[in-house]
Amino acid sequence: MQEDRYINKIIDAASPRNIYFYKMQHQTETYGRYKVLELLGEGAMGRVYLSEDPILGRQVAVKVISTDRNLDPIVLNEYLERFKVEAQACARLNHPSIVSIYDAGEEGGVPWIAFEYVSGERLDKLIARQRQLPFDRIAQIAGDIAAAMLHAHGMNIVHRDIKPANILIDDRSQVAKLCDFGVVKSPFTTITKDGTAVGSPGYMSPEQIDNLEVDARSDIFSFGIALYEMLTGTHPFLRDTVQATFFATINCSFTPVEKLREDTPEKLVRIVEKSLVADRNLRIINAEELCLMIAGCMDDEPRRTKLLRATADARRGIGARVKMVYAVALRGVRACWKKIQPFCGRVSAPAVKIYREKGFPFASDVFNRVYGAIKKRFTKSQITIGITAAISLIAVIVMIMLFVTVGEKSGDKNMLIRAAREKGYTVKSGKQLVDIGRGYVDKCDRHGADGVAGILAGSKNKTYVLYGRLFEAMTALCGGRYNDAAALFTEVGKLDGWENAVRREHPFFIHYLGNRMERELPESLTDLYARHLRMHDNQQMKAWTGDRHYWVRWNAVRILQRSGATVDLVPVLILDLDHAGSARTRIRAAERLGDTGDRRAIPALTAARDNRNHPASSTARRVLSEKFNVR
C-alpha cells in the first residue's frame, strides 16, 4: 500500500507526457470491457492484443497506441488528437474485405481501438511460404482488396500503407481483408519526426516519397507492388538501402513480370504495368477502373459478378459516369503529350534558338495588340470564364465522341449475341462465344467450330473477327488439311493483334503437335508451325530439342531452325551419339560433332571411343585425334 501511494504521488507530480509513457510501460489487463488474453504483435508505434469481449463472448483484437519517448510533446498531442479522428473515420467503413472496427476509447489516458479478430495468415507470410501464388488465387485476393479500396475511396479515406503485411487472409472464408488504416502508424500525411512522409519504405508511391499531396492513386501504386509480389514472389523496388529503394521507386525501375514468370496472363501483367507508373496522372485512374480490370482476369463467375456489381454501384449517377469519362480522356491526352513532347521539343528547338538570339518583334507586336484589344473589351474574370468555357466545350466534344464509340460497340455486341442465339448459343457476351469456339476446336469438332467462327467473323469488332478466322485455321489444322491451314493462317496474319492471339493458343498447338512428334512430321506441317505459329520462342519446343526420342528432338530442331531461331546442335548430336537406334546415325553424329569443333563434345566422343561395342568407336577415335588433338 505504501508503494502504491508513493507511485501515485510520483504520477500526480509528473507531466501528462510522462504519465502517458508510464502507463504504456505498465499495461493494464483490460481495455474498456475487453480482457487481454495474449500479445499478438508489437511494432514501433503500438501493440496488438488478442482480447475477449465478456458481454458478447467473442474474441477481438485490441490495438494500443504507443510512440517514441523522444517525440516532441506538441507533435505527440497532435498525434493523439488525430488518432481519434482517424478512428472515427475508419468506423464509417463497413465492407466484408475491410477489418471491422468495433469500439474505441482510452484506458488511463492510453488510446485503444477494438476491431474484428481475423483468424488467418498475413499475405506477406503466404508469399514467403509459397513464393508465387496460383493465378486464380491472385485474382481473388486482388479483387477483394480492390473492392475494399473502392469502398474506402468512396468514403474519401486513403489507406496510404497498402502492403502484404496489412492484408489478412481469413482461414474460414478465404476472403482477403485490408487492415491498419493509419492506426498503428502515424495518421499524418506529411508531419513526422524527421519531416518525411509516412509510409513503409518499398511500398510508398513516388508522391509520398517526394512529400506531395497524397490521393487515392497512391493506394493504386502500392496495390501494384503487392500484386507484383504475389505474381513473382519478389519485391519490384527493394534494394540494399532505403535511398536506393526510393530511387528505384521514383524511377519505376523493376524487372518485367514476364521475365520472372513467363506464363503470367497478359491481363495481370497489364494491371501491374498500369499501376506502377511514376506519373500518377498516367496510372489507373481510380479503384473503379482497377476493379473492372481485375474482373476481366477472373474465371470464378460468382466472384467476378460480385466485383462487377460493386463497381456498378460505385458509378451510379450521371455525375460519376461523366467524371470517369473525363478522367479517361484527360489521361489519354496526357499520355499522348508525353509521347510527342520530345518530338515537339526537337522540332521547335531551332525556332526557340532564333527567338532567343534575335527575337520576333513582329510576332510580339501582333500578340500585344490582340491581347490589348481583348483587355480593353473584357475583364480578367470574363477572359478566364471564356478560356474555361472553351476548354469545357472541347471536353464535351471528346466525351460525346467517346459515348458514340461506346454506343457503336454496344450495338455490335447486341448484334453478335443476337446472331449467336439464332444459331442456338445462349451467351451474354462475345467472350463467352469465343470460349465456346475454343472448346469446339480443342475437341476438333469441325462443325461446331466452323459455326462459331462464322458468327465471330461477321462481327464489326476486329478482335472477334480475328478469333473467327483463327478458329477456321485451327479447325483445318485439326483435320490434317495443312496446306489449307497455312493459307488460312496467312489471312490471319494480315489482321491486327494476330501475334498475341496465336501465342495465347500455343497450348493447343503444342498439345496437337505432341501427339505426332514421335514420327517424322510432314513438310507442310513443319513449315506451318515454323512460319505461321510463332514457335521461335516457345519454351516447350526448346525443351523438346533435349528429348531422347530421335524424331521428337529433330522435329523440334527443324521447326525452330525454319522459324529463324538459333539452335545449339551440340547437345542434340550428343544425344544422337549416345541414344540413336541406328548405327549410321551414331557414326554421322560423331562426324558432325567433330565438324562443330566444340570442345563440349570431347567427353561424349571419349566415352564412345572407349566403348568397343559402340558402333561409332573408331569414328570417335579418329575425330578426337584429327579435330581435337586428343589421343
Q: Which three cell numbers stand for residue 35?
A: 480482457
In the DSSP assignment, the letter for residue 282 is: G
DSSP track, 443-467: TT-HHHHHHHHHHHHTSS-HHHHHH
Q: Is 161 a catalytic residue?
A: yes
C-alpha pair distances (Å), 198 with each of 212, 281, 414: 11, 22, 49
State the number of CA atoms in the 13 A half-sphere of 542 facing the CB.
Answer: 9
Q: What is the four-CA torsion angle of 254, 257, 259, 265, rounded to 10 degrees?
A: -160
Residue 618's nearest CA partner among 626, 595, 580 is: 626
Residue 253 · residue 277 · CB < 8 Å: no
| Cα–Cα dist 2/440, whole Å | 88
| Cα Rg of the chain, angstroms | 34
C-alpha pair distances (Å), 566 with each of 275, 517, 562, 599: 36, 20, 10, 19
DSSP track, 520-543: PPPHHHHHHHHHHS--TT-HHHHH
Q: Which of 144, 161, 527, 576 is catalytic?
A: 161
Beta strands 46-53; 34-43: pairing state? antiparallel
545-548 long-range Cβ contacts below 8 angstroms, 24+ apart:
545/571, 545/572, 546/571, 546/572, 546/575, 548/575, 548/579
Catalytic site positions: 161
